[in-house]
Structure 1
Amino acid sequence: MSDETSADRDQYTPPQEAETLGGPEKSTTEKDPHDWVTGDEPATGAQKSYLDTLARQAGEEISADLTKAEASEHIERLQEKTGRSPS
């Protein structure tokens, strides 16, 4: 016999689906880059490298003196322009 009462059964909440990365596009956690806590820090090496590639493909020059948030915005814009936008 179980110690569970009807009140316990009525309050049961099924476990939430675990958040995953890299699956089908469903961006409920995406924040505006300006809302990032670290958005005003200098762009990372990876961001600068990717921006260099995208800017060359788009025929643009972009200042290397960027924040993480600015780099992210340029990346999104240039991905659209070059057709490299994630689908």
Structure 2
Amino acid sequence: MSETTSSAEKDPEDWTTGDEPVTGPQQSYLETLAREAGREVPEGLTKAKASELIDELQQQTGRGA
């Protein structure tokens, strides 16, 4: 276990389904976060890339845990 992630968390790049297309809920949440952050959501995101962008936008908007 690394210092930055718990055993329950996996890096999105290591997900077995990470290369699948972004899910509907991810896309919807990304659009909300991007609007609040004044950013655009890139086209063609994978689940893994969407998760990483969600984390980034949560930090930017203050919505992160």
User: Do the two structures share a fold, i.e. TM-score over 0.5?
Assistant: yes
Q: Which has the higher contact order (CA 8 A, sep 6+)?
A: 2
Q: Which structure has the bigger radius of gyration?
A: 1
Unaligned 5+ segments in structure 1 are: 1-25
RMSD: 1.3
Q: In the TM superposition, what is the alpha-carbon distance from 1:27 to its structure 2 partner?
A: 3.5
Q: How does 1:1-87 map to 2 (within 5 A)?
A: 27-86=6-65
Partner SS for 2:26: helix
Normalising by structure 1, what TM-score? 0.67
Unaligned runs of 5+ in 2: none
Q: Identity percentage over the alignment?
A: 62
Runs of 4+ in 1 over 3 A off after TM superposition: none
What letter matches 2:16 in structure 1? V
Higher percent of residues as helix: 2
TM-score, normalising length: structure 2: 0.88
Amino acid at match of 1:33: P
